[in-house]
Amino acid sequence: MATVESLSSAETVKLFQQYVIGNYTRYPVSLVRGENSYVWDSEGNRYLDFFPGWGCNLLGHCPEPVVRAVQEQVATLIHVPNTWHMEVQGQWAKALSERSFGGQAFFCNSGTEANEAAIKLARLQSAGKRYKIITFTNGFHGRTMGAITATAQPKYHEGIGPLLPGFRYAPYGDLAAAEKLIDDETCAFLVEPVQGEGGVNIPPADFLPGLRRLADQHKLLLMFDEVQTGCGRTGHWFAYQHFGVTPDVMTLAKSLCGGVAGGAMLARPEVAAYLKPGTHAATFGGNPLAARAGIAALEMIEQEGLLERGKALGEIFRSRFTELQAQCDVIREVRVLGVMVGVELAVDGAPVVRRCLERRLLINCTHGTVIRLLPALTLSDQQAHEGCDIIAAALKELV
């Protein structure tokens, strides 16, 4: 059988058209190799990647410590059921707990699975008496039925109803609206500390502390979806640490394992106790490969000082795009927290993405008009400026 690397991009596209379900809009490029912030296509062209792995490759493509850990683990023990103890999974849970709020971990494979676990836990801890969960407009929590129902935008619900009952949606950042939705059947808030898919939206300073106060007053769980913001993305281990607020439950995935699939839900021990044997599970969750990768990712961030590096990179992006905003009326707002960057435009952002692709820079547009960058913490200053130059040129050509 021919290897993928032996096929041209056009040949791979044809292979997909015949054999792979077309539920994604894909660029006509076949990527075959990655190293740090670069990827290469079948034709040998190199691309600078400012959106590596849809936010999963926070440490760049194929980070050496993660690769080495997985290589060692795959030759030792790949998978055993969660009916057995695994030291490496326990050590991973300890490492996450010590860097956050002292919670206990449930491991799964993805962000949507982590949020499903949180939804079930919120209902379980109220003993079936309360089932409503308040989420927020422009949030995104995943594609499984519970998580997609938690996601407020109607476009994600079209054609898949009936949805899971019990979700109420409030405008993001609007405390008064959230309070009005609380009733005797409400059990939790589920919110992204900083919205990613919704356009890199940073909340008002009083919003998350206000949700904490409402949760305490009404005995609700405060659950933070840190699938995109977690594990160092924003310059702290977790985005909630910017706001001086501690959640009861937190969900993680994407960059959790340095590019290897893995997800987790952390919960305060007294809340976690409601997830008893038989109430929830994930067959591959917390397997030795993911656990070794997850530990290696955390160690790499600490040993290489990457939290501070994220803050420094964020300042470069803030400076460059603020400067560009002064020259380019089409930029409405620049929003930056660590290496989470949103540049809101007054026009459709898709042509900017295509023009950057032609110049071998990979970026993303979300919410129609927001250029979203989630670059690696290992990006160099030179690469950051090179990418900003390309985006600036693309914008100036199109407006």
As annotated, the active-site residues are 140, 225, 254
State the Cα–Cα distance between residues 397 and 388, nearest whole angstrom: 14
- Listed in sequence order, the residues at least 6 apart from 106 whose beta carbon sits closer than 8 Å to its beta carbon are 114, 117, 264, 265, 267, 272, 275, 280, 282, 285
Residue 187: in which H helix or E strand, if any? strand 186-191
Contact by Cβ (8 Å): 306, 232: yes
Instruction: Kindly state the tokens that stand for 220.
Output: 């609700």
Q: Is the dihedral of CA 108, 111, 117, 122 positive or negative?
A: positive
Residue 382 burial (CB < 10 Å; 0-12/13-18/19+)? exposed
State the Cα–Cα distance between residues 65 and 267, nearest whole angstrom: 28
Neighbours of 264 (CB within 10 A): 31
Closest Cα partner for 285 from 248, 255, 257?
A: 257
User: What is the separation of C-alpha 208 from the centre of its chain, rounded to a whole number of angstroms?
Assistant: 19
Closest Cα partner for 30 from 51, 59, 5, 48?
A: 5
What residue type is assigned to position 333 of the chain? Answer: E
Instruction: Give strand pairing partners of 87.
Output: none
The torsion of the CA quartet 170, 198, 165, 118, rounded to 10 degrees, works out to -100
Pairing of strands 38-41, 31-35: antiparallel
Closest Cα partner for 140 from 341, 368, 376, 366?
A: 366
Annotate 22-59 with b (16+ C-beta within 10 A) or e (fewer): eeeeeeebbbbebebbbbbbbeeeebbbbbbbebbbbb
